[in-house]
Amino acid sequence: MIIPASERLRSVEEYYFSSKLQEIREMVSRGIPVINLGIGNPDLPPSPSTVEDLASSARKSDRHGYQAYKGLPKLREAIAGYLGSTHGLQLDPATEILPLPGSKQGMIYLALAFLNPGDRALVSELSYPTYTSVTRLAGGEIAVYPLNPADGWAPDWSNLERMNLGGVKLLWANYPHMPTGAPARRSTLQHLVDFGLKHNILVCHDNPYSMLSSTAEPVSILTCNGGKEAAVELGSMSKSHNMAGWRVGWLTGRKDYVDTVLRVATNVESGMFQPVQEAAIRALQSGPEWFDDLRAEYDKRRALGTEILQELGCTVDAGQAGMFVWGRIPQDAPEAKVFSDSILHARHLFITPGSIFGPRGDRYLRLSLCCPVSVLHSARERASSRTATASAPREAL
């Protein structure tokens, strides 16, 4: 007996990395030492005090039951304090913050909470693939909006305004932008808010990279004029606090938006493990020196990542933010997937083709900075050589 998959899965493709990582594993099993610069999986640990608080709390016998759907009040207060000190955002911890088991969970919650079958969502022509997949899983349809690379990869406002916006309820955006690394600018976020207000569209702003820029101050879309009326914002501790596997994120916005998403959450999850919440509170209390050290490390890695792409003939814009480097491939190179595969098999370096983020990325590569400086040095040597290096650091495989 074979039970067919649901119709909704017909609209969701296999994630590119699942098949590509299998190819890389097979190469490694044959003794080919691949350096993987494709995946954005933070390799640095949280602060020691964060780990200690997790262990200490987990040893207590009363920490292992179901938890409140809205999280510990102290966690919501810690999130509010963190966003107040870093982003200048003033929130009511009781009504405007919803802790989540990762911001990716919040994306599907938002889609389920606000989209009816046939409703449309705006997704930029270069974006995190999950925005598209959660929209389709909720029965929504995608309307792709253009970006303007000459304007810091902001939306192409004139063309966006000329689009057919009938049936559009949500707009997905994220600045600092992934995959291009374009930093967040208040003018761009304000324009998104104004657009949402004008057309009665909820702007869903994904903001995981704001603490990884040395050249731009962190900014929240909710601090813009009309921000809380037109937008909600997703936050995450994965990148800012090196806690990707812990699955701690949040949704912020005005009370009625938060309450609507909460109705979905209460039917899907059963709260977050209390020791994880208590450790997250500790991490959120990290001082400015934590972020200074984190940004300094990524600055070193970004410089090397830029050199790697330049050795491969790519052009890289300065001032990028986040944990990746985005580079335009040489004019005479084939399309990005073919170019990426040629680097994989000739240099034994895997760098993500930009086309997996949308057709506009067909002439770009995205290099991950989630590996030690020593690995990036080895990768640079391979990039500058005409043949693959015979060996690789163990942590690169």
Element (H, E) at 364: strand 364-368
| pTM, entire model | 0.93
> CB of 195 within 8 A of CB of 171?
yes
Q: Fill in the DSSP letter of residue 120.
A: E
Q: What percentage of the chain exceeds 70 in pLDDT?
A: 96
Nearest residue to 69 (alpha-carbon basis) of 361, 258, 215, 269:
269
Domain over 7-45+289-396 is classified CATH 1.10.3720.10? no
pLDDT tens for residues 149-168? 999 999 999 999 999 999 99
Domain over 62-284 is classified CATH 3.40.640.10? yes
CA 85/CA 264 separation, integer angstroms: 30
The 3-class SS string of 159-210 reads HHHHCCCCCEEEEEECCCCCCCCCCCCHHHHHHHHHHHHHHCCEEEEECCCH
CA 63/CA 59 separation, integer angstroms: 8
pLDDT of amino acid 11: 67
pLDDT averaged over every residue in the chain: 93
What parts of the chain have a pLDDT lower than 70?
Answer: 11-15, 386-397
User: In the chain, where does the domain assigned CATH 3.40.640.10 lie?
Assistant: 62-284
> Pairing between strand 352-353 and 364-368?
antiparallel
Q: Which residues pair with 46 in a beta bridge?
A: none
Locate 292 and state its tokens: 């200074």
Long-range Cβ contacts of 386-394 (<8 Å, 24+ apart)? 387/346, 387/347, 388/32, 388/346, 388/347, 388/348, 389/33, 389/347, 389/348, 390/33, 391/33, 392/33, 392/34, 392/35, 392/348, 393/35
pLDDT of amino acid 385: 78
pLDDT of amino acid 125: 97
- Give the largest Cα separation in the chain, rounded: 63
pLDDT of amino acid 391: 40
User: In the chain, where does the domain assigned CATH 3.90.1150.10 lie?
Assistant: 7-45+289-396
pLDDT of amino acid 17: 74
> CB of 113 within 8 A of CB of 261?
yes
